């Protein structure tokens, strides 16, 4: 049972065909996960209970509705939890995230200092089962703890062996319950939720977009990895004429410019209506490189106020498409031209 | 200056920058008629490297591109940490970069380095530079008694046996054998040190000439950059050296480029008879630090010099740029400035009065410790030439020596020292500095009078 202040780890032995070697391996992984800082600080919010399944060693978690599900307002199951955890890793630059689930799927939002917002969209059809009983279900949760739970079995090194997830939420005031299973070992995690904050509305609408380009992520990834980190800002210039699309840094040793011409192979779409130069704080954009690393394409848009929207197209393990989006406000010092 | 490098040469250029980065923290760019020279020197002035790219290396090489007025091409110094990141990932460069253009723009005071990559992507880096005198070391290799030439692979295989952390190694040659072993200081815990010694037959070398049995100890770390460059291009490396205390030069020669690394060597007991320094002995022989060292054997000192003319009697100052100093050896350098020649001072040494006796440290252990502090490296002064007045020196911001002192802070081993007794931090008895003709505090001073003292 949950006790308010102490972490509780309950292990019950199973007498079935569960493989003991696997269970020891799992035990080591769990202890490692618990010893990591994020879990121990959240000990009052977290309970981990495991049982070695005696009945169904292969796949105890059923992807179909279980009896007793009626009180959940949200149930989502995935055969491969990495389809969720990988995307969430791309937006983990702050501890807390706002979850918002609708009929369409799950949207996870992370914000930083009111200047940066990252959203991850996982559509309903990515999940093997996605049941939502209300129009919109929202809560705030510690993203670091959630990720640690989702990856509690560690990285799956054996091909074909995946960790299954069943995520259940009973509604306002209830914790988020995660059932994770791998190789016959089941872990139940209950993470406390908080009152959801309203995410910032950057008021970025397509009608206001002045410049838009879509690039293949490979080339941008290289540029971002070479960016001079001593520069405080990243300047993005987009123009219908030379230099078309330019990333500039102003560091200690001098400045650097990365130019992408509009007819480059890497440029999938080029729609620039007017010349715009905007600067964004490098520290704000740095987390976006995680999303860039996962993605295959990225769309860069700026609107008339100089706000930046980066949209990343991410393919998960099963080839399905998810989106990650970053909104960033321009650095106030420079007025847009 | 403007030049353009195509294709795989960009990677070679990048590799040269990597090799130079192992030596020093600054990169000197010197555009010359005969090519573009990239140079580096370490802070202790005990290692110098130069990569000279002839105009053939470049797709385009122009000292005075169109708009620039003809005159002396600008020489500049860049911080290695600004240049190295541009060439950091050589595999990516090989894959992506089609062409690299480097130009020096005096109007903007910038070195502009542009990479034209695949898919039409262009990367432009504008780096700020410091105008500087050219850096050049004088080392007449044709006068070295010992010459070895080996394939890069052989040398690479040899150094691979030494741990990556090994700082210094000793190369001992005799007409029948070449031995390489790691150099250790006796104070270090014998139980923790792994001794490695390799013995090679002269036949393994492409060219083998030993005029003088010698064993020299030099820093391996600084050499690794050149060796890895040589291995990647499968070039043979020539080694020129003499007796211990004199610098050793490693050079390689490929049609469009030549590279040289000159390292100072540890100064062993100059008066020790050759038999004591036979290659079979483990560990070099150290001398007592207190004893002033005047080279007694006539063979060593004059050979390394080059000038036949008598040096000017009193004036040991390096003349300011422009006017040639009569009698002083001049080495061809682009700005026609006199370049320091160690031979000048070594010769002068023999004419000076005998220095007063200094405290002699008799305990071998103590001698060792002070020896290591000072390093006792003799050899060529590698600092750029400068004027007589401290203010004329623009290269070194460190004026810790004071206004009377030499500003090049030529260093002994790795120990920075001041040339003025008032800067002495220690309590050792002074030794006589033959060059300045005054006492020099030894704890922060020179152990080898032949050390360059540039004033």
User: pLDDT value at position A42?
Assistant: 38
Residues in chain A within 8 Å Cβ distance of B128: 253-254
Nearest partner of B442 among B268, B293, B236, judged by Cα: B293
- Residue B120 to residue A228, Cβ atoms within 8 A: no
The pLDDT of residue B142 is above 60: yes
Residue B160 pLDDT level (bands cut at 50, 70, 90): confident
Q: What whole-number distance in Å separates Cα of residue B1 and Cα of residue B58? A: 12
> From the CA of B334, how many Å to the nearest CA of chain A?
27
What pLDDT does A324 receive?
Answer: 94
Q: What is the mean pLDDT of chain A?
A: 80
* Between residues B418 and A170, the one the model is more confident about: A170
Round to whole Å and give the CA distance between A93 and A99.
15
Cα B416 to chain center, whole Å? 16
Tell me which chain B residues have a C-beta less than 8 angstroms from the C-beta of A222: 92, 96
| Chain B interface, best mutation among A247, A254, A258, by max B CB count within 10 A | A254
- The answer to whether A226 contacts B119, with C-beta atoms less than 8 Å apart, is no
Closest Cβ opposite residue B120 in set A253, A254, A264: A264
Q: Is A235 left (phi over 0), alpha (psi -120 to 50) or beta?
A: beta
Average pLDDT for residues A75-90, to the nearest whole number?
91
CA distance B138 to A172: 81
Residue in B with minimal Cα distance to A215 = B119
How far apart are the CA of A215 and the nearest CA of chain B, in angstroms? 12
Choose between B450 and B76: higher pLDDT: B76
Whether residues B128 and A253 touch (CB distance < 8 A) is answered with yes
Nearest CB partner across the interface for A219, out of B119, B125, B127 = B119
A262 to chain B: closest CA residue: B120
Inter-chain touch B82–A253, beta carbons under 8 Å = yes
How many CB atoms are closer than 10 A to CB A265? 11
Quick one: pLDDT at residue B141?
Answer: 79
Q: How do residues B347-373 score in pLDDT, each as one tens digit?
A: 444 444 444 443 333 333 333 333 333
The model carries a pTM of 0.65
Q: How far, in Å, CA of B48 to CA of B253, rounded?
A: 17
**Number of A–B residue contacts, CB under 8 Å:** 54
pLDDT score of A293 more than 70: yes
Q: Which residues of chain A are at the B interface, by a Cβ-Cβ cutoff of 8 Å?
A: 219, 222-223, 226, 228, 252-261, 263-266
Q: Which residue in A254, A257, A264 is closest to B119 by CB distance?
A: A264
Query: Does the predicted interface ipTM exceed a cut of 0.90?
Result: no
**Spatial CA neighbour of A141 closest among A84, A187, A95:** A95
What's the token pair of residue B223?
């050499």
* Contacting residues of A for B123, CB less than 8 Å apart: 223, 226, 256-259
Binary contact (A266, B96; C-beta < 8 A): no
Inter-chain residue contact A253 with B124, CB threshold 8 Å: no
> Contacts of residue A253 in chain B, CB cutoff 8 Å?
79, 81-82, 127-128
Average pLDDT estimate for A184-205: 90
pLDDT greater at residue A70 or residue B93: B93
Could B85 and A265 be called an inter-chain contact, meaning their C-beta atoms sit closer than 8 Å? no
CA dihedral B327→B384→B379→B14, nearest 10 degrees, is: -130
Asked if the Cβ–Cβ distance from B92 to A222 is below 8 Å, we say yes
CB–CB contact B85 A255 (8 Å)? no
Q: What is the mean pLDDT of residues B116-127?
A: 92
Contacts of A263 in chain B (CB under 8 A): 120
Tell me which chain A residues have a C-beta less than 8 angstroms from the C-beta of B85: 226, 228
Instruction: Sheet with A209-216: list strands edge to edge.
Output: A137-142, A96-102, A105-112, A116-123, A321-328, A308-315, A295-303, A209-216, A267-272
Contact status, residue A20 vs residue A11, Cβ threshold 8 Å: no
Distance between CA B31 and CA B36 in Å, rounded?
Answer: 4
Q: Find the length of chain B.
A: 455
**Closest chain A residue by Cα to residue B78:** A253
Lowest mean pLDDT among A181-190, B281-290, B403-412: B281-290
Choose, out of A259, A261, A262, the residue to mutate when testing the contact with B (most B CBs < 10 Å): A259
Contact call for A259 and B119, based on CB within 8 A: no
Note the pLDDT of residue A140: 94
Least confident of A279-293, B68-82, B147-161, B377-391: B377-391
Write down the pLDDT at residue A3: 38
Main-chain dihedrals φ then ψ at residue B260, nearest 5 degrees = -140, 140
C-alpha neighbours within 13 Å on the C-beta side of residue A184: 20
Helical residues (DSSP H) of B22-151, grouped into ranges: 80-83, 90-96
Under 8 Å between Cβ of B197 and B183? no
Q: Could you read off the pLDDT of B331-343 as tens digits, one per residue? A: 444 443 444 444 4
Q: Indicate the SS3 state at residue B68.
A: coil
CA distance to partner chain B, nearest, from residue A74 (Å): 47
Do residues B303 and B242 make contact, with C-beta atoms less than 8 angstroms apart? yes
Give the per-residue pLDDT at B127. Answer: 92
pLDDT over threshold 50, residue A11: no
What's the gap in Å between the CA of B66 and the closest CA on chain A?
24
Chain B: residues touching A (Cβ < 8 Å): 79, 81-82, 85, 88, 92, 96, 110, 118-128
Taking the C-alpha atoms of residue A52 and residue A137, their distance in angstroms, rounded to an integer, is 32
Asked if the model's pLDDT at residue B418 lies above 90, the reply is: no
Asked if B300 and B294 count as a contact pair (C-beta separation under 8 A), the reply is no
Whether the pLDDT of residue A240 is over 50: the answer is yes
Portion of chain B with pLDDT greater than 70, in percent: 56
Which chain A residues touch B130 with a CB distance below 8 Å? none
Taking residues B431-449, what's their average pLDDT? Answer: 47
Q: Distance, in angstroms, between B293 CA and closest chain A CA?
A: 45
Least confident of A92-96, B134-138, B222-226: B134-138
pLDDT of residue B287: 27
- Report residue B253 as tokens: 């020669």
| Cβ-Cβ contacts under 8 Å, B127 against chain A | 253-254
Q: Can you read off the two tokens belonging to residue A66?
A: 């279980």
CB contact under 8 A, B120 and A265: yes
Give how far B128 is from chain A: nearest CA, Å. 6
Q: Which of B105, B108, B122 should we substitute to test contact with A (largest number of A Cβ atoms within 10 Å)? A: B122
């Amino acid at each position: 049972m949950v006790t308010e202040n102490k972490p509780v780890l309950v292990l019950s032995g199973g007498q079935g065909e569960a493989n003991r070697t696997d269970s020891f391996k799992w035990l080591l992984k769990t202890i490692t996960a618990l010893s990591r800082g994020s879990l121990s600080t959240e000990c009052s919010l977290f309970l981990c209970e495991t049982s070695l399944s005696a009945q169904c060693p292969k796949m105890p978690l059923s992807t179909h509705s279980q009896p007793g599900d009626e009180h959940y307002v949200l149930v989502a199951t995935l055969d491969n939890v990495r389809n969720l955890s990988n995307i969430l890793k791309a937006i983990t630059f702050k501890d807390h995230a706002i979850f918002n689930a609708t009929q369409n799927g799950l949207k996870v939002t992370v914000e930083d200092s009111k200047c940066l917002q990252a959203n991850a969209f996982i559509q309903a059809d990515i999940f093997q089962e996605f049941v939502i009983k209300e129009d919109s279900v929202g809560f705030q949760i510690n993203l670091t703890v959630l990720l640690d739970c989702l990856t509690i079995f560690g990285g799956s090194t054996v091909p074909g062996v995946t960790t299954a997830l069943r995520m259940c939420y009973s509604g306002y005031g209830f914790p988020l319950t995660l059932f994770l299973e791998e190789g016959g070992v089941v872990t139940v995690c209950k993470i406390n939720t908080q009152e959801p904050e309203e995410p910032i509305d950057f008021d970025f609408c397509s009608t206001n977009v002045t410049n838009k380009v879509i690039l293949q992520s490979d080339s941008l990834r290289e540029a971002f990895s070479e960016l001079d980190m001593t520069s405080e800002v990243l300047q993005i210039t987009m123009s219908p004429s030379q230099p078309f699309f330019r990333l500039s840094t102003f560091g200690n040793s001098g400045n650097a410019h990365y130019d992408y011409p509009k007819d480059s192979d890497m440029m999938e779409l080029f729609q620039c209506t007017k010349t715009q130069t905007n600067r964004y704080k490098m520290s704000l954009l740095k987390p976006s490189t995680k999303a860039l690393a996962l993605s295959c394409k990225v769309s860069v848009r700026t609107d008339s106020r100089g706000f930046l929207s980066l949209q990343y197209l991410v393919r998960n393990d099963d080839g399905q498409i998810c989106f990650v989006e970053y909104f960033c406000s321009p650095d106030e010092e420079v007025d847009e031209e | 200056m403007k030049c353009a490098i195509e294709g795989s040469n960009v990677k070679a250029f990048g590799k040269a920058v990597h090799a130079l980065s192992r030596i020093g923290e600054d990169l000197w760019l010197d555009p010359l008629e005969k090519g573009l020279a990239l140079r580096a020197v370490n802070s202790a002035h005990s290692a110098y490297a130069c990569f000279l790219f002839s105009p053939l290396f470049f797709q385009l090489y122009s000292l005075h591109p169109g708009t620039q007025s003809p005159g002396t091409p600008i020489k500049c110094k860049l911080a290695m940490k600004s240049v190295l990141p541009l060439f950091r990932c050589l595999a990516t460069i090989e894959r992506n970069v089609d062409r690299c253009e480097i130009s020096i723009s005096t109007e903007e005071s910038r070195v502009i380095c542009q990479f034209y990559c695949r898919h039409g992507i262009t990367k432009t880096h504008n780096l700020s530079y410091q105008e500087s005198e050219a850096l050049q070391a004088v080392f007449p290799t044709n006068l070295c008694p010992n010459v070895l030439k080996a394939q890069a692979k052989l040398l690479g295989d040899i150094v691979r046996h030494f741990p990556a952390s090994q700082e210094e190694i000793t190369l001992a040659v005799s007409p029948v054998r070449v031995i390489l072993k790691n150099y250790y200081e006796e104070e270090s815990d014998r139980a923790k040190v792994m001794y490695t010694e390799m013995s090679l037959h002269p036949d393994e070398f492409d060219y083998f000439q030993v005029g003088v049995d010698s064993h020299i100890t030099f820093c391996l770390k600084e050499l690794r950059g050149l060796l890895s460059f040589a291995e990647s291009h499968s070039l043979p490396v020539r080694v020129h050296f003499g007796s211990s205390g004199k610098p050793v030069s490693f050079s390689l020669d490929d049609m469009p480029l030549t590279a040289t690394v000159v390292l100072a060597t540890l100064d062993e007991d100059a008066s020790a008879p050759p038999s004591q320094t036979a290659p079979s002995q483990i560990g070099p022989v150290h001398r007592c630090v207190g004893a002033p060292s005047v080279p007694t054997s006539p063979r060593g000192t004059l050979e390394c010099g080059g000038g036949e003319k008598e040096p000017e009697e009193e004036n040991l100052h390096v003349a300011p740029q422009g006017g040639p100093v009569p009698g002083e050896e001049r080495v061809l350098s682009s700005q026609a400035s006199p370049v320091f020649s160690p031979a000048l001072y070594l010769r002068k040494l023999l004419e000076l009065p005998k220095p007063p006796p200094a405290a002699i440290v008799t305990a071998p252990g103590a001698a060792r410790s002070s020896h290591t502090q000072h390093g006792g490296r003799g050899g060529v002064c590698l600092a750029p030439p400068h004027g007589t007045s401290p203010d004329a020196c623009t290269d070194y911001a460190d004026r810790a020596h004071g206004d009377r002192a030499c500003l090049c802070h030529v260093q002994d081993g790795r120990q920075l020292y001041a040339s003025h007794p008032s800067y002495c931090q220690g309590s050792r008895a002074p030794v006589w500095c033959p060059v300045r003709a005054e006492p020099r505090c030894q704890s922060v001073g020179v152990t080898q009078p032949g050390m360059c003292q540039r004033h």
